Every structure is written in C-alpha cells, then in structure tokens.
Amino acid sequence: MCVKNGMAALSPLSVALLVAVTVGLAAAILAWRERPEPGATWLSALLVGQVWWATFLVFELEAATLPAKALWYDVQWVGVVAVPVGWLFFALAYTGYDRYVTPFSVAAVCIVPAATVAVAAAGDPGNLLATERVVRETAVGTFLDVVPGPLYYIIAGYTYLLGAVGSVPLLQLIRDDARPFRGQSAALLVGTAAPWAGSVAYITGAIPIPGLDPTPLVFVISGVAYLLALSRFRLLTLAPAPRRRARQLVFEQLHDPVFVVGTEGYLVDLNESAAETFGIDRRAAIGQPAASAVPRYDAVRDLADGGDKPRAIPIVGRDGRRPYEATVRDVVDDHDRTSARVITFHDVGAYLGQQQRLNVLNRVFRHDVRTETNLIQGYAERLRSDATDERALSVIDRSAGRILELSERTRTAGKLFDPTEEYASSPLPDVVDEAVADAREIDPDARVEVGRVPAVAVSVVLRVVLKNLCSNAVRHNDGASPWVQIDATVADDWVDVTVADDGPGIDPAEYDVLDRGTETPLRHGSGIGLWIVKWGVDHLGGRIDFDEREPRGTTVTVSVPVDRSGVPSTDR
Amino acid sequence: MANEPIRPSTPDGTAEQSRSHTTTPAAGPLRRVAAFAAGAPFTALVAAVEVAIATAALGVPASTAPVAVGLVAFSVYAADHVADAAGDVGSTPQRARIALRYGDQLMLAAAVSYGLAVALAVGAGPAALALVLVPGAVWVGYATDWLPTVAALVAPPGSVSVPRLKDVFLLNSAAVALAWAVAVVAAPMAFAGVPVDPTDAPTVALLFAYVAARSFVDVEVPNVRDVATDAAQGVSTLPVVYGVAGTRRILFGVDAVAGGLLVAVVATDAASGGVVAALAAGLVVSVTVTALADRLDGSTLGVAPDCSYLVAGAVLLAIGP
C-alpha cells in the first residue's frame, strides 16, 4: 500500500484553520441543539458557513495542483455567502424582529449569494469572481492568490451591508439594562467584528502576506466568542426575542384605555381598548390633535405626572357613561427630555359602586334595622303588660314587614354587583308593563298611565330601576288614589324614561346624597330603594335626573343607552 | 387555578407531591468519576484501540484515525446518554444521574470533541471528512425529525407505521455493529489517504466481517443485564425473546463465525501473526464474557465485552504486529 502521511505535511495556516473548524463546529452543534429557540437555526447556519469556508481553505492549502486548489477555492464560496445571510437572520430572529424573517425575505436576501455560488459552480465564466489565479508559496502555506473580479466586489459589499443591518438591533441590546443581554450582544459583536476586521485588512492590503485572506483564520476568535455566548451567557436559552412582543402585547391588550400624546399635543398612539371603549377609529385618530380623540382632554391634560390624587371623571363611551380615573405619565428619553405623555384611563365604576354599597349597607344595619328593632322591642314591652294592645301588634307587624322589605331590596342590590351575572335584553314596552303591574299590585287604587313607549331593546337591569321608581311613587304617595305617568323617548341610541307622580315629592337631601355618592351619619338617605335605582343606572352607564312637578310631585328622568348586544353591529 | 385545593389522591389523604420517594443513595466522588469514565470515555478508548488494531491489521500507515474515531465515539455516546438520561435511570442509575446533573457540560464536551474530530479529518483529507461527517448527518436527521415527515408524505398516516430503528428487534444491534465495522475498517484507510487496492480487498472484507460479528456480540451481551427493563418497556432484544440461555447459544454461534473468519485470515495470510494473535486473544475474552453473562453484575457486564479489545490491544503492543 502506498504511503502518504497527511498530518506531517500540514502547513501552519492549515493548523490554525483546524482550530477554527473545531470551535466553530462545536458552537454550531450547541446552537443547533437549542432549536426552536429564536435564532438558533440561523446561528448554526452562520457557524456552519464559517466551518465550511475554513474546511475547504484547508483543502485548498493542502492540494498539490492549481486545478485542485481552484476547485476547493470555488467550493469555499458556499460558506462565504452563507455567513452574512445567517448573521442577518440570526440577529433579526434573536432580537425579536422575526416578522422580517419570512420565506420571501430569506429568498430575496439569498438571490445575490445564490448567484455567486452558481457562478463559482459554473467555473467562473467571464472571470466574474477572479480575473487571475496564481499559486503563491509562502512560509505559512501554499494558497491561491486571486485578483478579484467585479462579482467579488459586489458580494463583498453585499456581505458588509447584511453584516451592518444585522448589527443594528444587537447594538441596541448592548445598551440594555439587563446584564445577560449586554454580555450576549457584546460576545456576538466581538464574534462578528473579528472576521470583518480580517476582511477589511485583506481588501485594504494591510496583511503582511500578500494574497492571504485572513477572514477564515479569525473565525477562531468568533468561534470562541460564540461558544462563550452560548455556554456562559446562555445565548439561546435566554434570548431577548419575546421581550419586544411582550411589551407590545401589554400595551395592546391592557384592559385600560391608553393614549400616547406627543409634546406638540398630537395623538401618537392609542391601544385597542381605547379605540374600543371610546369608539375611535385608530387609523384616522393618530396624527390628529389630541383634544379631538382623547375624551375630556381639557380635564386630563393638566394632571401632573403622578402628582395630584386622581379624581373620577365621568365619560360617555360605548358602554354608556362611566367614571374614569386618568393618570398621566411622561415618556422620557435617554437625555431626560419628555418626548410624549401616556394618558391611561382606569374605569373605577365597579370600585366606586362597591364602596357605595358597603357604605349604604352599613347605614342600613346601623340605622334603619336598628330603628325598627328598637320599635319592635318597645311595643313588645307594651304587649307584655297588656296582651290585648292591638296597636302595639300592628306596629310590630309593620316594623317587621319593613325589615323584610329592606332585606329583599338588599338582595336585589347585591345582584346588581354580581360580576358573573349576565344581563339579557328585553323590549322596553315589556319592561314598562312589568313595572306598571308591580305598582298596581302595591296599590290597586293607583292610576298608572303609560304614554308612548318606543319598542327598543334595553337591558333587563332597567326593569329593577323602573320597578323601584314606580313602587316608590305609589307607596310614598299620601293621596287617596296615587297617580303615576310613564313616558319614553329615543334619541341617538339613548332612551329617556320619565316617571312622574303627584306625591309629596322627594326630599332634596335624598338625591343630593345620591349625587355626591357618599353618605355620612348626618347626611344619609332613607331606605335603599333610591340607591338601587342609582346603582342600576350606573351599571347601565346612564344618568338620572330629579325635577319637582307643579303643583306637586316629582319627575324622575332615567337616560340609558339602547341595548345593541342582540343587534348585529355595523360599526365594529 | 392557583387557589384550587390540593386534592388527596389516595385514601390515606396524602397528595402525590407530598409523599416520600425512595431514591438511590448518592455515590461518593470517586465512584461518580468511575461511573462517568465507564460511560462515553471508556467507549471512546475502546473505539480508539479498535481502530489502532485495524490500522495494524490492514498494514496502513499510522494516522490520526484512532484519535478521531475515539472523539466521535465520545461525542455520539455522551450526547446519547444526555438525551436518554431520563430513560436510563432504571438500567444505569449512576450514569443517568451524571447525565442529568451535568447535561450541559457533557453536551459542550461532546460538541468540542466532535469539532476536534472533524478538524482532524479535515487535516487528513476529503475522504476522512466524509466518513466523520456521517454520524453528524445522522444526528441532524434524527434531531430534525425529517424521517417521519418524509414517511408521512410517502404513505398516508396510519397505513404504515415507521418504527424507530432503535426499537426494531435485531436490526438495532445489527445497525450498531455495522456502523462500528464501517468506522473501524474505513477510518484507518481514509485518514491515511489509502485507496482500496483490489489485492487488499479480501483483507478488508474479512476484517469488516470480523468486527461486525464481534460488535454484534458486544452490543447484545449487556442486554442480558437490561432484560427486565427492556421487557417492561416492550423493547425486543435477544435475551427478551430467547431467554438468557438461548441468547448465550446464539452469541456463541456468532463468536464461532468470528473464529472462522480468523481462520480464513490465517489461511489467506491476510494479516500478520501478531495481529491474528491479538484478535484471537480478544475473541477468547469475548467467549468468556458471554459464558459468564448472567453471573456478572450490571456495571461489570456493561464494560466487560468491550474489554476484549483492550486485551487484544495489549497483546498487540506486547508482541508487535
């Protein structure tokens, strides 16, 4: 058998390249193993490209003849063009710009590299890649000295372009707050800058050995850098890719409406909830003066950045009129300049309602139930001395009845605050009829008149509201035959229902308390009926007005949005 | 849901996560090192010795082939042990524990080791590179799952099931034996840059058959140890299907074939006397291990078959080719 000992003949250059092959391939395997982490596949493609280039440069160096060297030189192009493509898409996927990594973009970016490989495979027709190839013997090895052709410069420029584009998102990471990402991106940039420096040195002729492209040699440095990034800085197990999307997602999916207003007062951005809640067309609104899109902008613009205690501002949106607390935050850039303000609206309706409910229930127990119990106790004493005292019996009976009624209404109020309750819609005439029937049951002598009631759909919560209003009007009327008139009108998707009576009128202190929303031991309402009306109207996002009638009586006007949940909507 | 109560899963009221588990006692540092060395590093050493013996048997010049094949063996087995660590807890608890604890470090070592093997192969030329890339290409194929995908494209799902090679009775051991034979016989020639001469073909063929037969025995003998776990997992091996006694008879038969091949080598004068003596010594060790298969303890049985190559290597060193 013939004898040829390969190892002994290896040139110093080849030995150095074999080190690059070792670290490069090891890093490629580790990267490949991390799939499907963002960027893993592309990083291994980049590293395999480096290994390929170094491998076939060794073959070129060790080949004995010019044709053999030229063959291996041409094969190297596959690796040469794979490196920048792998780098670009790795950087994009790894930093979370994966929307740019599509089959189409990959194909488009690969056109120039594929053309280069095709030219090399076809034997470089027209000397596009190399105008001249000579074998140059040096102390470090015998390689092909190539005089670059036009395509060579094109692919070189293209490589620099892809490299620069890929470095931009990574450079952003270097300034990141999170230490692991700074370490990762620093290692990656060293890994990329090293071959670039080699390539620049070659093209500018700064290499002491003429004709030698040191780029593949410098892959030793990049291989070590990538290995470090993978094993030490957990490059792919802790990739920053999801952060961009996560932050975007939080803004978009935030339940609270958010507006971003630039320093000049124009709307810069708004989230899904803002568009939905206030019925704003996002495309049209962005770029418009903030006052035209941000609700009550005049009231919120002057809120200091996290300063004053926020106050609830009633705003009419898609869900009717609801109380919002607005907070304003300045967006500050790296130079401490305010570039925009973020206005967040927080719907505090449920919170305020719960507060009022606790407040009122507290009063009911502390005051109303206690008063009735005192009465019962007192008259029970009288019964003890005179068991035939009919008056005492009837007082106790009425008192107990009022406690029972309070308890019933408390249950109704509780239902209004049940977050799991889903309210159906019902035609307004049906709702009115039920309330009227209820009132007639309380006092068969009552004259209840119903005016024109348009047949629109309303939430069944309005039934609770109207039943309470009608029964109050009948119950608290001291006349022989109480009179109640119900009318309804519709305008702009809102229903106004008026309940008028000829009773003694509601004490202004009662609805003043409703208006302020809080009761105190000295200023409180009586019973819970009016509160149920208020909570029901608040729940529907509506409003309520009280007016005195001439010559006597009260007119209560309830305005609530028409219920569109059962109707296919056209504008969403 | 976070607030969901933990429901007791047994009548005694304990939930799965709060019950005590029996764990195997942790080994001392020395035993851990021994357990590690008995895994991939030992396999790598055996592979290197096998290739060195094959180099002598083929009469090709010394090369980096034994080192490169050893490195590849290390990376393949280390990666395999890491990948199958959870499943190996029953059969090789010490090794599995190391693989679970130092998985990342072992994978780094495996990757660098494979990189080094490829670098050595690149230095030796295209043929050596192609040979060394085969295990890597197979690994990529396995890892990307393109085989089942292709199978699903060719045949509609459900009509034909494509089993994993690792689960097919006999074919699994045969495939491993063939892979070893290819690596051991081809590597010395590829790394030395020697083309197969028609006059050398009988030597190459005899050596190939011998290594394949011997490797088959080496793969099946440790299955005697794993017979219980394999049967429980539904994996078919010789001991599962034919019992320990039947397996011993079959393996003796394969060893007899290997012996016959050695006789053929002597008859055709295909290898030097020293090499034949070394291979014969290895065969004797193999027969002995097969005979004692059910009486050796688990960890010994894991390394004993491969020791035949170390004996053969020692003999070759002592008497020269």
Q: What CATH number should be reported for the domain holding residue A67?
A: 1.20.1070.10
Residues of B in contact with A18 (CB under 8 A): 119-120, 122-123
Q: Is B148 at the interface with chain A, CB within 8 A?
A: no
Interface residue ranges in chain A relative to chain B, Cβ cutoff 8 Å: 1-7, 10, 14-15, 17-19, 21-27, 29-30, 32-33, 35, 51, 55, 58-59, 62, 231
pLDDT tens profile A212-250: 788 888 888 888 888 888 877 777 777 777 887 788 888
> Do residues A324 and A242 lie in contact, with contact meaning Cβ atoms separated by under 8 Å?
no
Task: Point out the domain boundary residue: A295, A327, A347.
Answer: A347
Residue A429 shares a structural domain with residue A520: yes
Determine whether the interchain pair B107/A3 forms a contact, defined as Cβ–Cβ distance below 8 Å: no
Q: Please name the helix (run of DSSP H) or strand (run of DSSP E) that holds residue A6, with its range, or none.
A: none
Q: CA B153 to CA B159: how far, in whole Å?
A: 12
| pLDDT surpassing 50 at residue A4 | no
Pairwise CA distance, residues A162 & A154, whole Å:
12
Choosing from A347, A370, A398, the residue where a domain stops is A347
CA distance B167 to chain A (A): 23
Q: What angle do CA A59, A65, A71 make, to 5 degrees?
A: 55
On whether both A441 and A503 belong to a single domain, the answer is yes
Locate the domains of chain B by residue range: 31-156+164-319
User: Side chain identity at A346, as an amino acid letter?
Assistant: H
Number of inter-chain CB pairs under 8 A, A vs B: 88
* Amino acid occupying residue A335: H
Check: CB of residue B119 under 8 Å from CB of residue B185: no
Q: Which are the contacts of A193, defined by CB distance < 8 A and separation ≥ 6?
A: none
Radius of gyration of chain B (CA): 22
**Do A33 and B124 lie within an 8 Å CB cutoff?**
no
A18-75: pLDDT as tens digits: 999 999 999 998 888 888 788 888 999 999 999 999 999 999 988 888 888 889 999 9
Q: Provide the pLDDT for residue A309.
A: 63
The alpha-carbon gap from B258 to the nearest alpha carbon of chain A, in Å, equals 26
Say if A188 falls within a structural domain: yes
Q: Please report which confidence band the pLDDT of residue A567 belongs to, taking 50, 70 and 90 as the band edges.
A: low
- Dihedrals phi, psi of A425, to nearest 5 degrees: -110, 160
Going residue by residue through chain B (321 aa), what tens digit of pLDDT does each one get? Answer: 344 444 444 445 444 545 454 555 555 677 777 777 777 888 899 999 989 999 988 888 889 999 999 999 899 888 888 877 777 776 677 777 887 888 888 888 999 999 999 999 999 989 899 888 887 777 665 555 555 555 555 555 445 455 555 666 777 788 888 888 888 888 999 998 877 777 778 888 888 999 899 888 888 888 887 777 778 877 778 888 888 888 888 989 999 999 999 899 888 887 788 888 998 998 998 888 888 877 777 677 777 778 888 888 898 888 876
Check if B141 contacts A (Cβ < 8 Å).
Answer: no
Structure tokens at A192: 């990329």
- A377: in domain: no
CA atoms lying within 13 Å on the CB side of residue B177 = 21
Q: How many CB atoms lie within 10 A of CB B140?
A: 14
Q: Residue B112 and residue A23: Cβ atoms within 8 Å?
A: yes
Taking Cα atoms as reference points, which of B113, B130, B29, B35 lies closest to residue B79? B113
Q: 3-state class of A15 per DSSP? A: helix
- Residue A568: phi and psi, rounded to 5, are -60, 125
Q: Does A18 share its domain with A76?
A: yes
Pair of tokens at residue B159: 């009509």
Predicted confidence (pLDDT) per residue in A325-346, tens digit: 888 888 887 778 888 888 888 8
Question: Are A32 and B143 a contacting pair at CB < 8 A?
Answer: yes
Q: Cβ contact (<8 Å) for A59 and B110?
A: no
Q: How far is CA A153 from CA A54, A156, A199, in A?
A: 20, 5, 12
Amino acid identity of residue A54, one-letter, is A
Q: Residue A374 domain-assigned?
A: no
The answer for residues whose C-beta is within 8 angstroms of residue A129's C-beta and 6 or more apart is A77, A116, A119, A120, A146, A148, A149, A151, A152
Question: How many structural domains are present in chain A?
Answer: 3
* DSSP symbols for A438-463: HHHHH-TT-EEEE------EEETHHH
Question: Do A147 and A211 lie in a common domain?
Answer: yes
Q: Which of A212, A243, A274 is the last residue of a domain?
A: A243
Give the whole-angstrom CA distance, residue A27 versus residue A20: 11
Tokens 């919120």 label which residue? A300
Contact in structure between A230 and A25 (CB atoms under 8 Å):
no
Domain that holds residue A274: 254-347
A229 contacts in chain B (CB < 8 Å): none
Residues 6+ apart with CB under 8 A from A51: A20, A21, A24, A25, A28, A79, A219, B118
A6/B124 CB distance under 8 A: yes
User: Where do we find the tokens 């495939």?
Assistant: B175
Domain membership flag for residue A379: no
Query: What type of residue sits at position A208?
Result: P
Q: How far is B231 from chain A (nearest CA, A)?
A: 31
Cα distance between residue B257 and residue B263, in whole Å: 10
Q: SS3 for A488?
A: strand
Pick from A110-124, A378-392, B101-115, B216-230: least confident: B216-230
Residues A464 and A430 in one domain: yes
Asked if the model's pLDDT at residue A434 lies above 50, the reply is: yes
Question: Would you call B119 and A33 a contact, using CB atoms and an 8 Å cutoff?
Answer: no
Q: A497 or A422, which is more confident?
A: A497
Q: Indicate the range of A148-152, A184-188, B47-51 predicted with least confidence.
A: A184-188
Enumerate the residues of chain B whose CB falls inside 8 A of the CB of residue A6: 63, 123-125, 191-193
Average pLDDT value over all residues in chain A: 84
Closest by CA to A394, choosing from A383, A409, A403, A408, is A383
What's the rounded Cα separation, in Å, for the pair B166 and B176? 9
Indicate if A82 and A225 belong to the same structural domain.
Answer: yes
State whether residue B197 sits within 8 Å of chain A by CB. yes
Measure A77 CA to nearest chain B CA, in Å.
17
| pLDDT for position A522 | 62
How close does chain A come to B189, measured CA to CA in Å? 10
Q: A219 and A276 share a domain?
A: no
Work out the minimum CA distance from A109 to partner chain B, whole angstroms. 24
Residue of B nearest to A27 (CA): B111
**Cβ distance A188 to A176 under 8 Å?**
no
- Element spanning A62, H or E: helix A40-62
Q: What is the pLDDT of residues A463-493, one digit of tens each?
A: 889 988 888 888 888 877 889 999 999 988 8
Residue A570 pLDDT? 41
Does one domain contain both A285 and A238?
A: no
CA-based nearest residue to A25, from B314, B113, B309? B113
Closest Cβ–Cβ partner in B61, B108, B116 for A3: B61
Same-domain check for residues A217 and A259 = no
**Euclidean distance between CA atoms B309 and A537, whole angstroms:** 91
**Predicted pLDDT at A47:** 92
Question: To which residue do tokens 């020293």 refer?
Answer: B274
Same domain flag for A80 and A168: yes
| Number of other CB atoms surrounding residue B155 within 10 Å | 12
Pairing outcome for strands A483-491 and A447-450:
parallel
User: Of A355, A276, A411, A407, which is closest to residue A538 (Cα–Cα)?
Assistant: A355
Q: How far is CA B79 from CA A27, A30, A226, A338, B181, in A?
A: 15, 11, 20, 54, 21
CA neighbours within 13 Å on the CB side: how many for B258? 27
Cβ pair B115:A30 closer than 8 A? no
Q: Are A429 and A437 in contact (CB under 8 A)?
A: no
- B214 and B308 in contact (C-beta within 8 Å)? yes
Cβ contact A260:A267 at 8 Å? yes
Residue of B nearest to A28 (CA): B111
Residues of chain A above pLDDT 70, percent: 94
- CB contact (8 A) between residue B119 and residue A6: no
| Assigned domain for A47 exists | yes
Among candidates A1, A4, A35 on the partner chain, residue whose Cβ is nearest the Cβ of B200: A1
Q: What CATH number is given to the structural domain containing A275? A: 3.30.450.20
Q: Say yes or no: A490 and A430 in one domain.
A: yes
ipTM reported for the complex, 2 dp: 0.78
Whether A83 and A177 map to the same domain: the answer is yes
pTM exceeds cut of 0.80: no
Q: How many CA atoms lie within 13 A of A84 on its CB side?
A: 23
3-state DSSP assignment of residue A78: helix
Residues in chain A: 572
The alpha carbon of A321 is separated from its chain's Cα centroid by a whole number of angstroms, namely: 24
B112 at A interface, C-beta within 8 A: yes
Give the nearest chain A residue to B124 (CA atoms): A6
For residue A106, the model assigns a pLDDT of: 94
Write the CATH number of the domain with boundaries B31-156+164-319.
1.10.600
Residue A392 domain flag: no
